[in-house]
C-alpha cells in the first residue's frame, strides 16, 4: 500500500526532521572564513588571502598566494576556494567577502549556469568566465554548509583589511 510503513519503517514528522537537522548542524564544526583578492592591473599580478577561524576555539589560520598574470575576479574566487580546501571535514562556514562577483555567483547565478551547461547570457550560449574555478567552488559548496556575508571593502573591517594586506603582499612577489 502506498504511503504506509511496514512496521520497520517509521514516519518522520516535521519536528523530527528539524531535530535531526539540528543534530547534524551541531556535529559540524563551525568556522568563519574571511577572504579577499587583489590585482595590480586587470589582468596583471594578483594575490588572494584568507583567514579561517574556528568559532569555538578562536584558532586562526592565515594563508595567501598569487599569480603573475590574473584578474581580480579570479583572485576573489581563489581566496574562497583555498579557504574551503583547508577544511578537513564538512563544516558550517560563515563566509565573509567583499566581492559581489563571488557572492552573486553563489547566491544568484550558479544554479542557472549549471542548468545551461555552465553557459551564461540571455540565450545561454556564452561561456561562464572562470568556469574551472566556479566548478571547483560548486564542488566544495556541496561538502560544506555555506552562509554568505557581504563586507564592504576598505572600511575598517579588521579581517577584510588583513586579507587585503596579505593579498597585496602576494602581488609584490610577482612584480
Cis bond before residue 80 (omega within 30° of 0): no
Tell me how far apart the alpha carbons of residues 2 and 49 are, in angstroms, rounded to a whole number.
Answer: 54
37 is catalytic: yes
pLDDT confidence bin for 121, thresholds 50/70/90: confident
164 is catalytic: yes
Give the count of alpha carbons within 13 A of 76, CB side only: 20
In the set 32, 82, 98, 159, the catalytic residue is 98
**Superfamily in which the 28-106+145-172 domain is placed by CATH:** Ribonuclease H-like superfamily/Ribonuclease H (3.30.420.10)
Q: Give the residue extent of every domain in the chain.
A: 28-106+145-172
54 is catalytic: no
16 is catalytic: no
In the set 37, 47, 83, 105, the catalytic residue is 37
pLDDT confidence bin for 123, thresholds 50/70/90: confident
- Arithmetic mean of pLDDT, 76-84: 98
Edge to edge, what strands does the sheet with 145-150 contain? 60-70, 44-54, 30-39, 92-97, 145-150
For residue 155, give Cα distances in angstroms to 28, 47, 80, 98, 160: 32, 20, 20, 10, 9
- The fraction of the chain above a pLDDT of 70, given in percent, is 85
- pLDDT at residue 26 in the model: 63
pTM of the model: 0.84
All three cell numbers of 68, joined, read 603573475
Is 115:62 a contact under the CB 8 Å cutoff?
A: no
Q: Return the SS3 of 115.
A: helix
> pLDDT tens for residues 45-78?
999 999 999 999 999 999 999 999 999 999 999 9
All three cell numbers of 38, joined, read 587583489
Strand partners, 127: 119
- pLDDT at residue 173 in the model: 94
Q: Return the SS3 of 25.
A: helix
Tell me how far apart the alpha carbons of residues 46 and 173 are, in angstroms, rounded to a whole number.
Answer: 9
In the set 76, 82, 83, 159, the catalytic residue is 76
Amino acid at each position: 500500500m502506498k504511503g504506509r510503513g511496514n512496521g520497520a519503517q517509521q514516519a518522520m514528522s516535521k519536528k523530527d526532521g528539524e531535530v535531526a537537522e539540528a543534530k547534524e548542524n551541531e556535529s559540524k564544526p563551525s568556522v568563519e572564513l574571511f577572504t579577499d583578492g587583489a590585482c595590480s592591473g586587470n589582468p596583471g599580478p594578483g594575490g588572494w588571502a584568507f583567514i579561517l577561524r574556528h568559532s569555538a576555539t578562536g584558532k586562526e589560520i592565515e594563508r595567501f598566494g598569487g599569480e603573475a598574470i590574473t584578474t581580480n575576479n579570479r583572485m576573489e574566487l581563489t581566496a574562497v576556494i583555498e579557504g574551503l580546501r583547508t577544511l578537513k571535514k564538512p563544516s558550517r562556514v560563515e563566509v565573509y567577502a567583499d566581492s559581489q562577483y563571488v557572492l552573486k555567483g553563489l547566491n544568484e547565478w550558479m544554479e542557472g549556469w549549471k542548468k545551461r551547461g555552465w553557459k551564461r547570457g540571455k540565450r545561454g550560449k556564452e561561456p561562464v568566465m572562470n568556469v574551472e574555478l566556479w566548478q571547483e567552488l560548486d564542488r566544495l559548496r556541496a561538502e560544506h554548509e555555506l552562509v554568505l556575508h557581504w563586507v564592504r571593502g576598505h572600511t575598517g573591517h579588521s579581517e577584510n583589511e588583513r586579507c587585503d594586506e596579505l593579498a597585496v603582499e602576494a602581488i609584490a612577489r610577482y612584480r
